Amino acid sequence: MSLVRLDDSATATVLAIAHDGPAIYNIVDDEPAPMRDWLPALAQALSAKPPRHVPKWVARLIAGPGLTMLTGARGSSNAKACQELGWQPRYPSWREGFAAAYGEHPRARPAEPEARAGTP
């Protein structure tokens, strides 16, 4: 799968609209990755439990035909957008994007110790 931040998509859209002539661009980060790689990293960034693994036949019952899209889709290349539009993603990798977006997520920080009643 290929991932992208919303602000990167917006920037690329503005550049594409201003660009001469019709064209189609893939607006994605530089590092396509299978869900089995990025989903556990996202869970960790959010201090959530790691995703469960289920047999493919069970997943197929739940996701139906969408399972192929989730697990077998090829990543896209942003080379054309980078070359023709001069666009670059703010975070070239989903790893950097997750760290930036969720590193300050409340669940990613250790809990503050609660003050006890009657103590300063």
Q: Is residue 115 part of a domain?
A: no
Which domain range does residue 45 map to?
Answer: 6-107
Concatenated DSSP letters for 5-36?
Answer: -HHHHHHHHHHHHHSSS--------S----HH
Q: Is residue 113 part of a domain?
A: no
Q: Is residue 36 part of a domain?
A: yes
Q: What percent of the chain has pLDDT over 90?
A: 46
Which is higher by pLDDT, 55 or 78? 78
Q: Is residue 118 part of a domain?
A: no
111 C-beta neighbours (distance < 10 Å), count:
7
Q: Is residue 11 part of a domain?
A: yes
Structure token pair of residue 93: 């990798």
Q: Is residue 45 part of a domain?
A: yes
pTM of the model: 0.70
Compute the mean pLDDT over every residue in the chain, rounded to the nearest whole number.
Answer: 83
Residue 104's pLDDT band, with cuts at 50, 70 and 90, is low
Angle at CA 47, nearest 5°, toward 46 and 50? 95
Quote the pLDDT of residue 116. 43
The enclosing domain of 38 has a CATH number of 3.40.50.720
Number of domains composing the chain: 1
Looking at residues 35-63, what average pLDDT do you find?
87
> Above 50 in pLDDT, residue 34?
yes
Looking at residues 113-117, what average pLDDT do you find?
45
Q: Is residue 117 part of a domain?
A: no
Residue 115 DSSP symbol: P
Q: Is residue 119 part of a domain?
A: no
Concatenated DSSP letters for 28-79?
Answer: --S----HHHHHHHHHHHTTPPPPPP--HHHHHHHHTTHHHHHHHPPP---H
